Amino acid sequence: QVQLQESGPGLVKPSETLSLTCTVSGGSIGDYYWTWIRQPPGRGLERIGYISYTGSTNYNPSLKSRVTISLDTSRKQVFLRLTSVTAADTAVYYCARTSVSPPGPPYFDSWGQGTLVTVSS
């Protein structure tokens, strides 16, 4: 059974860059897409973006200018980079394995437990 584990700094200063890693175990990183999702405190879920196993990406239009998602298939890791962060970027960040079945929207069939990132000086 696939397991996902997010890791990275829990505290980032305003205007700096948030960097997280999702490590995949117990399953292949190929044949799936990989999505980053976040949940600000007391609020709902927001899709950040996804990357395919071939490296193509799709980002939330509202975050597109600040987001980069990348992949290291040999290490089975997915990376998130979010630049110029503000307090509004404080959230629990999740990594999710994504199944794509056109024409329907993708769905997230396995998730990590999430990691809280706080943006504060």
Partner 1 sequence: QSVLTQPPSVSGAPGQRVTISCTGSSSNIGAGYDVHWYQLLPGTAPKLLIYGNINRPSGVPDRFSGSKSGTSASLAIAGLRAEDEADYYCQSYDSSLRDYVFGPGTKVTAL
Interface with partner 1 by CB under 8 A: which residues? 4, 44-47, 60-61, 94, 96, 99, 101, 104-114
**CA–CA gap between residue 82 and residue 59 (Å, rounded):** 12
Strand pairing class (91-99; 67-72): unpaired
Which candidate, 111, 120, 108, 116, places its Cα nearest to that of 14? 120
Please, what is the minimum distance in Å from the beta carbon of residue 83 to partner 1?
Answer: 20
Tokens for 84, please give them.
Answer: 């110029």
Identity of the residue, 3 or 118, whose beta carbon is nearer to partner 1 in the bound complex: 3
Please, what is the minimum distance in Å from the beta carbon of residue 112 to partner 1?
Answer: 6
Determine how many CB atoms are found less than 10 A away from the CB of residue 12. Answer: 20
Identity of the residue, 73 or 110, whose beta carbon is nearer to partner 1 in the bound complex: 110
Identity of the residue, 16 or 39, whose beta carbon is nearer to partner 1 in the bound complex: 39
Please, what is the minimum distance in Å from the beta carbon of residue 4 to partner 1?
Answer: 8
